[in-house]
Amino acid sequence: MKKRGKIKVAFFDFTGCEGCQLNKLNLENQLLDILEHVDIVEFREAMDDKAEFYDIAFVEGSISTPECVNRINDIRRRSKVLVAIGACATNGGINSLKNIHDIDEVRETVYREHKYLFPTLPAMPLHAIVKVDYKIYGCPMTQEEFLKVFKSLVMGKKPQQPDYAVCVECKLKENECLLQRGIFCLGPVTRAGCGARCPSFGQSCIGCRGFVSNINQNASIEVLKRYGYSVEEAVKRMNMFNVTEMKM
């Protein structure tokens, strides 16, 4: 990506639990190798330095206030490549559950008589406001996928990311289908790339990586109905991480 000098990399966070930020700090065995090739110029969790421009900006969290909109526009202007990391940044994540309620009721519930001091917006993924070059999905994003994308960008290559269902990875691991075992699972509609981590440990896929492209949501719900789940239950589970992607 950069022919001279080290690549300038910055990390930013918006509304979220900062789990993805901590996941990066836990890369103890890889950090020194990474720092041979890049300069970390901004990272609130680890340093006070600021920079004017960045070759790569990794951004976590959803956009949820007018101040967030101004700030992400400023980061985009300063960045050659912007990468959304984690469920909140890529599709709004759990924060977007507030979007199915009246926004004034949400503010009243959280802030009571002080609600007018805290302007808020429906939670949005980064791409709702600015151009996003690449996305690293998941809640939290996995270290493996982060390193894979990071290394590709440092080497000037386009990261290859899957756009097929978690079920594919589950079958490759020869896991027994959780739906057929009577366990609710969103593997058939969720974007792969996690290695079917949760189903491999007997836990249902909860859809934290967002939906695969062009899914037929009505057909997905019909399939879940065949396994005994009501429409309300299916929509409720699908909403958990994917309110901004739901079309019903």
Torsion-angle region of 214 (φ positive above 0: left; ψ -120 to 50: alpha; else: beta)? left
CB 62 within 8 A of CB 92: yes
Place of tokens 């994917």: 242
pLDDT of residue 19: 85
Place of tokens 């000037």: 156
Buried/exposed 111-149: b ≥16 CB within 10 Å, e otherwise: eeeebeeeebbbbbbbbbbbebbbbbbbbbbbeebbebb
Average pLDDT over residues 73-85: 97
> Beta-strand (E) ranges in 15-113?
38-43, 54-60, 79-85
Rounded to whole angstroms, the Cα distance separating 159 from 72 reads 23
Q: How far is CA 210 from CA 57, 69, 147, 199, in A?
A: 22, 22, 20, 16
pLDDT, tens digit, 9 for 90 and up, residues 125-158:
999 999 999 999 999 998 889 999 999 999 899 9
pLDDT, tens digit, 9 for 90 and up, residues 188-245:
999 999 999 999 999 999 999 999 998 888 999 999 999 999 999 999 999 999 999 9
| 140: amino acid identity, one letter | P
Global model pTM greater than 0.85:
yes
CB 42 within 8 A of CB 49: yes
3-state SS track over 179-215: HHHCCCCCCCCEECCCCCHHHHCCCCCCCCCCECCCC
